[in-house]
Amino acid sequence: MTVGARLIYPTPIFEPYVGAGFGFYYISLDKPRVDDTAFTLGGYLSAGADAWLNRQIALNAELKYHYMNPEFGGSDVNTSGLVFTLGIRMGF
């Protein structure tokens, strides 16, 4: 469960944005000899853009960095990393 915010620079066709958020993350580690779960506090930073094809449909690209350091078996494990997504945004 995270709470986030976006700052959008609206233009007629191309809409870049940046965002940030924080919250609690549920993490499951399922590896040989290790099967553990954890809740941890974490956050993210994001940057992306929407390219509007018409008034209701846009192509979306976003790069998001998640920061999380849960504890598994008494040791902090860095599960942070980058996620790149492509999608379609639809207005109703």
Q: For residue range 13-42, what is the model confidence (pLDDT) as tens digits?
A: 999 999 999 999 888 877 777 678 888 899
Q: What is the pLDDT of residue 72?
A: 78
Count of CB atoms situated within 10 Å of the CB of 27: 17
Q: Which CATH fold topology does 2-90 show?
A: Porin (2.40.160)
Average pLDDT value over all residues in the chain = 90
When comparing pLDDT for 76 and 63, which is higher?
Answer: 63
pLDDT at 74 exceeding the cut of 80: no
Closest CA to 42 of 9, 18, 74, 78: 78
pLDDT at 73 exceeding the cut of 80: no
Closest CA to 41 of 27, 66, 23: 23
Closest CA to 66 of 46, 48, 51, 37: 46
